[in-house]
């Protein structure tokens, strides 16, 4: 459909387009005349989530973390638990009232609350204080799912139900740290009280939720830290007992010292063994030189006793020197004393040798005194080294015993130290986490302390109802619905509603049209002048004149007389009689003598010289031609109009078709073009060579402008 067709369709149904919106708007205006007043209030809360200050300084700007925090906060406000608790607190505050308080609720709301709950139940729930009443209401509502309060909370009550508390709208103000809570109710005092209680409940729940998270973590770390500390103390006590039982002061220094002394001892032993071996060899050489002559002297009892005493003194001196170095003690006085005694013993030995000297020369001629001195020297060196070797041998055994003792202690000490280190690290990690959790708890105490920037106010004026908006919306919706329905029907309409559509669907030219309610020209009126004036300026008259002009143009183009026009239709009641009547009247009025032939049974007025009736059955049976059908005929008739029966419903005289000069196919504008119609037209064309043109009947004024120009417009032009 083109925009012109759409406009034409809407103008055609302007009454419907106007009536439906007016009816809907009027109905809504009437049914909303008792609309309740509405009061709105709001409160603003500062959260500090996005840019607040904490123990660690200013909060970092993290879009996703901030958005998640605000989502959690808004979800908590809209949660069922918050709404239920706020509804219970609101009911408790109203039950606590002994008399009407306009700042809490209106008289109508108080009466309504008393009607909702029996007096006995109200007395049962009311406590000595508001807190006690709140506890009673909460406990009674959660006791079971069949009592009055549970049903009230889960009903559609506009004040005390969860549904009513769900009307609290919570939103974040742009990208700030502020949250706005809004509510709209029928009672101004209840509106403010509901917002205040909702804020109170969700702030407490938010703080409890945040604090409970860190409290559980802190309890865990405290218990684990105590266990770790006990394990650390047990490991350190084990370490202390181990060191005490094994005489360990510093294991690593002790083992280092023992290893060093061992190496030093081994070095001294090797050195002294070499000296001792040399002294023994020298002493053996001297004994050989002395041969048997000095044997008696060297083996005397006195000299043996002195040698034995010297050996014991040298052993003691070696012990004192070795222990003094290992034990790091000051043994110099004792060592000096022993050395003095040893020197005295050596002097005594020399004296003994001098006293018992018997021979002066050796076998080789070496003086015996010189050999004795050399013997004494080697004897002293051998005795001294022997004593040192004996002492060092004992110390070597002691070092080996100590070495074998300390070696396995290292592995055990390492295990104990590793246990202490692991336990200590575990304890430090738990203690650090405990401190972090306590800091987080303290930070939560600071950050969960939300501030009410703007408390809810008591609205003094109502917002104004939605009555006008509902009326306007209903009227607009009705108009839109009707217009959409009309357009939909127009798009789905397959009827021959206008000349252009009829020509496109049938493939036949449209000669003319008649209106939906044509004026019958042959009917007389009481006021002929006035009726004629109305017809001259009407759409019906313009359509009839247009059709007559088209036929007259065809008549004037054919010189033979009379001009025969057949009026046919595929079905009955498609306007054939009206077309013949209109053409006959217009042509006779225009000076063209016209004969109209109607099938018997047609109500076309009385028969006369220009109006006659015939029998289609007889004409078909006897194969009448035109002359037989019109006999007798007025001599001056120049146009013959023959109405035929319906092509698809009755028998019609086919013998008349060859004599037709024009075929007028009348079609109702409200019908659709079907294949049977197309076949009937094909049969018609096969029976006559006359052109077939359409006369569209029942066309609305708005659908005829592409073919008919009203007379008043043409005159103006």
Question: CA-CA distance, 270 to 499, in Å (whole number)?
Answer: 142
Between 460 and 95, the higher pLDDT residue: 95
Lowest model confidence (mean pLDDT) among 29-43, 73-87, 593-607 = 29-43
Question: CA-CA distance, 581 to 5, in Å (whole number)?
Answer: 31
Q: Is the pLDDT of residue 212 over 50?
A: yes
Question: CA-CA distance, 444 to 453, in Å (whole number)?
Answer: 20
Lowest model confidence (mean pLDDT) among 73-82, 627-636, 704-713 = 704-713
Are both 659 and 530 inside the same structural domain? yes
pLDDT digits (tens, 9 = 90+) for 8-23: 778 777 888 888 889 9
Q: What is the pLDDT of residue 60?
A: 52
The pTM (predicted TM-score) of the whole model is 0.47
Q: Is the pLDDT of residue 535 over 60?
A: no
In this structure, is residue 461 part of a structural domain?
no
Q: What is the pLDDT of residue 450?
A: 79
Are both 13 and 69 inside the same structural domain? no
In this structure, is residue 679 part of a structural domain?
yes
Q: What is the pLDDT of residue 526?
A: 42
Using alpha carbons, select from 306, 241, 305, 318 the residue that is nearest to residue 276.
318
Tokens matching residue 567: 């009026």
Q: What is the pLDDT of residue 679?
A: 92
Are both 533 and 673 inside the same structural domain? yes
Q: How many CB atoms lie within 10 A of CB 688?
A: 18
Between 414 and 691, the higher pLDDT residue: 691
Question: CA-CA distance, 671 to 664, in Å (whole number)?
Answer: 17
Are both 142 and 47 inside the same structural domain? yes
Are both 513 and 646 inside the same structural domain? yes
Q: What is the pLDDT of residue 524?
A: 42
Question: CA-CA distance, 215 to 211, in Å (whole number)?
Answer: 6
Are both 167 and 106 inside the same structural domain? yes
Lowest model confidence (mean pLDDT) among 137-146, 217-226, 408-417 = 408-417
Are both 578 and 622 inside the same structural domain? yes
Q: What is the pLDDT of residue 531?
A: 41
Q: What is the pLDDT of residue 370?
A: 61
Question: CA-CA distance, 9 to 4, in Å (whole number)?
Answer: 9
Confidence of residue 98 (pLDDT cuts 50, 70, 90): confident
Give all strands (DSSP E) within 50-168, no chain letters.
Answer: 53-54, 57-58
Quick check: helix, strand or coil at residue 13? coil
Confidence of residue 528 (pLDDT cuts 50, 70, 90): very low
Q: What is the pLDDT of residue 245?
A: 74
In this structure, is residue 235 part of a structural domain?
no
Confidence of residue 716 (pLDDT cuts 50, 70, 90): very low
Angstrom CA distances, 232 to 228, 242, 245, 596, 635, stand at: 6, 15, 20, 130, 143
Q: What is the pLDDT of residue 431?
A: 84
In this structure, is residue 361 part of a structural domain?
yes
Interior angle at CA 638, CA 632 and CA 643, nearest 5 = 70
Tokens matching residue 388: 């040192």
Are both 399 and 534 inside the same structural domain? no
Residue whose pair of structure tokens reads 């013949």 in the numeric block: 580
- Domain CATH number, residue 518: 3.40.50.300
Alpha-carbon torsion angle 88, 91, 95, 99, nearest 10: 150
Distance of CA 346 to the CA centre of its chain: 109
Using alpha carbons, select from 495, 489, 492 the residue that is nearest to residue 13.
489
Which residues make Cβ contacts (< 8 Å) with residue 603, sequence separation at least 6?
577
Question: CA-CA distance, 518 to 547, in Å (whole number)?
Answer: 13
Overall number of domains in the chain: 4
Q: Strands 510-515, 563-568: parallel, antiparallel or unpaired by DSSP?
A: unpaired
Tokens matching residue 303: 């000299």
- HSE of 587, CA atoms in CB hemisphere, 13 A: 29
Are both 204 and 132 inside the same structural domain? yes
Q: What is the pLDDT of residue 452?
A: 85
Between 43 and 530, the higher pLDDT residue: 43
Report the largest interatomic distance among the alpha carbons of the chain, rounded to a whole angstrom. 217
Over residues 631-646, mean pLDDT: 85
In this structure, is residue 228 part of a structural domain?
no
Query: In this structure, are residues 389 and 276 in contact, taking their beta carbons and an 8 Å threshold?
Result: yes
Q: Is the pLDDT of residue 365 over 50?
A: no
DSSP H helices in 493-605: 499-506, 528-536, 539-557, 576-589
Contacts 24+ apart (CB under 8 A), 11-14: 11/702, 12/700, 12/702, 12/703, 13/482, 13/486
Are both 678 and 572 inside the same structural domain? yes
Are both 268 and 119 inside the same structural domain? no
Phi, psi of 20 (to 5 degrees): -65, -50
Question: CA-CA distance, 706 to 282, in Å (whole number)?
Answer: 160
In this structure, is residue 656 part of a structural domain?
yes
Confidence of residue 533 (pLDDT cuts 50, 70, 90): very low
Q: What is the pLDDT of residue 196?
A: 92
Print the domain residue range for 649. Answer: 495-716
Confidence of residue 288 (pLDDT cuts 50, 70, 90): low
Confidence of residue 610 (pLDDT cuts 50, 70, 90): confident
Using alpha carbons, select from 593, 582, 588 the residue that is nearest to residue 637.
593
Q: What is the pLDDT of residue 691?
A: 93
Are both 704 and 674 inside the same structural domain? yes
Q: HEC string of 159-211?
A: CCCHHHHCCCEEEECCCCCEEEEEEEECCHHHHHHHHHHHHHHHHHHHHHHHH
In this structure, is residue 229 part of a structural domain?
no
Give strand pairing partners of 172: 179
Q: Is the pLDDT of residue 68 over 50?
A: yes
Over residues 170-189, mean pLDDT: 88
Q: Is the pLDDT of residue 357 over 60?
A: no
Residue whose pair of structure tokens reads 């501030």 in the numeric block: 451
* Exposed / middle / buried, residue 402 (Cβ in 10 Å: 0-12, 13-18, 19+): middle
Lowest model confidence (mean pLDDT) among 418-432, 449-463, 515-529 = 515-529
Distance of CA 495 to the CA centre of its chain: 53
List, edge to edge, every strand of the sheet that includes 594-599: 510-515, 692-699, 662-668, 563-568, 639-643, 594-599, 611-614
- Kindly state the percentage of the chain with pLDDT values over 90: 14
Mean pLDDT over each residue of the chain, to the nearest integer? 78
Q: Is the pLDDT of residue 419 over 80?
A: yes
In this structure, is residue 355 part of a structural domain?
yes
């Amino acid at each position: 459909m083109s925009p012109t067709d759409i406009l034409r369709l809407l103008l055609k149904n302007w009454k419907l387009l106007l009536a439906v919106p007016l009816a809907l708007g009027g109905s809504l205006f009437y049914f909303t005349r008792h609309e309740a007043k509405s009061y709105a209030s709001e409160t603003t809360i500062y959260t500090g989530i996005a840019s607040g200050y904490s123990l660690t300084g200013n909060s970092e700007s993290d879009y996703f973390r901030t958005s998640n925090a605000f989502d959690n906060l808004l979800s908590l406000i809209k949660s069922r638990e918050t709404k239920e608790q706020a509804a219970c607190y609101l009911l408790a505050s109203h039950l606590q009232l002994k008399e009407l308080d306009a700042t809490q609720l209106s008289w109508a709301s108080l009466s309504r609350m008393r009607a909702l709950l029996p007096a006995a139940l109200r007395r049962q729930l009311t406590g000595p204080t508001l807190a006690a009443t709140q506890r009673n209401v909460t406990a009674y509502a959660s006791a079971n799912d069949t009592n009055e309060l549970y049903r009230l909370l889960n009903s559609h009550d506009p004040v005390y139900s969860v549904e009513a508390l769900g009307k609290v709208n919570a939103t974040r103000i742009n990208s700030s740290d502020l949250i706005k809570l809004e509510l709209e109710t029928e009672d101004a005092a209840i509106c403010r009280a509901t917002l205040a209680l909702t804020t109170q409940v969700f702030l407490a729940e938010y703080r409890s939720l945040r604090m409970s998270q860190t409290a559980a973590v802190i309890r865990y770390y405290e218990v684990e830290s105590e266990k770790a500390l006990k394990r650390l103390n047990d490991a350190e006590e084990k370490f202390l007992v181990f060191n005490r039982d094994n005489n360990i002061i510093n294991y690593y220094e002790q083992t280092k010292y023992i290893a060093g002394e061992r190496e030093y001892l081994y070095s001294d032993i090797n050195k002294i063994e070499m000296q001792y071996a040399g002294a023994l060899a020298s002493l053996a050489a001297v004994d050989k030189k002395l041969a048997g002559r000095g044997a008696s002297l060297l083996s005397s009892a006195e000299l043996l006793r002195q040698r034995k005493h010297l050996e014991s003194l040298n052993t003691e001196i070696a012990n004192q020197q070795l222990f003094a170095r290992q034990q790091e003690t000051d043994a110099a006085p004792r060592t000096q004393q022993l050395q003095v005694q040893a020197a005295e013993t050596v002097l005594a030995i020399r004296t003994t040798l001098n006293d018992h000297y018997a021979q002066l020369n050796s076998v080789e001629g070496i003086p015996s005194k010189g050999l004795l001195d050399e013997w004494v020297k080697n004897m002293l060196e051998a005795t001294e080294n022997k004593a040192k070797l004996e002492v060092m041998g004992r110390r070597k055994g002691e070092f080996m015993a100590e070495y074998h003792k300390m070696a396995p202690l290292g592995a055990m000490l390492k295990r104990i130290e590793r246990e202490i280190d692991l336990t200590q690290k575990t304890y430090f990690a738990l203690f650090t986490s405990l401190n972090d959790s306590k800091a987080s708890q303290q930070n939560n105490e600071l950050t969960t302390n939300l501030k009410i920037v703007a408390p809810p106010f008591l609205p003094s004026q109502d917002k104004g109802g939605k009555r006008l908006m509902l009326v306007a919306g209903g009227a607009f919706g009705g108009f839109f619905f009707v217009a959409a329905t009309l357009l939909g029907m127009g798009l789905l309409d397959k009827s021959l509603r206008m000349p252009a559509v009829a020509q496109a669907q049938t493939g036949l030219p449209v000669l003319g049209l008649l209106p939906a309610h044509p004026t019958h020209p042959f009917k007389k009126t009481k006021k002929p002048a006035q009726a004629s004036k109305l017809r001259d300026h009407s759409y019906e008259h313009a359509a009839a004149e247009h059709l007559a002009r088209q036929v007259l143009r065809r008549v004037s183009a054919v010189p033979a007389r009379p001009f025969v026009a057949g009026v046919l239709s595929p079905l009955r009641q498609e306007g054939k009689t009206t077309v013949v009547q209109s053409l006959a009247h217009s042509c006779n009025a225009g000076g063209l003598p016209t004969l109209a032939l109607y099938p018997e049974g047609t109500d076309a007025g009385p028969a006369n010289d220009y109006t006659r009736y015939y029998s289609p059955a007889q004409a078909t049976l006897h194969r009448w031609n035109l002359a037989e059908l019109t006999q007798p005929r007025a001599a001056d008739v120049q146009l013959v109009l023959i109405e035929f029966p319906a092509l698809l419903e009755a028998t019609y005289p086919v013998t008349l078709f060859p004599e037709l000069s024009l075929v007028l196919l009348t079609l109702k504008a409200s019908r659709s073009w079907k294949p049977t119609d197309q076949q009937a037209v094909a049969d018609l064309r096969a029976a006559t060579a006359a052109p077939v043109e359409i006369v569209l009947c029942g066309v609305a004024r708005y659908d005829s402008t592409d073919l008919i120009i009203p007379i008043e417009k043409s005159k103006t032009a």
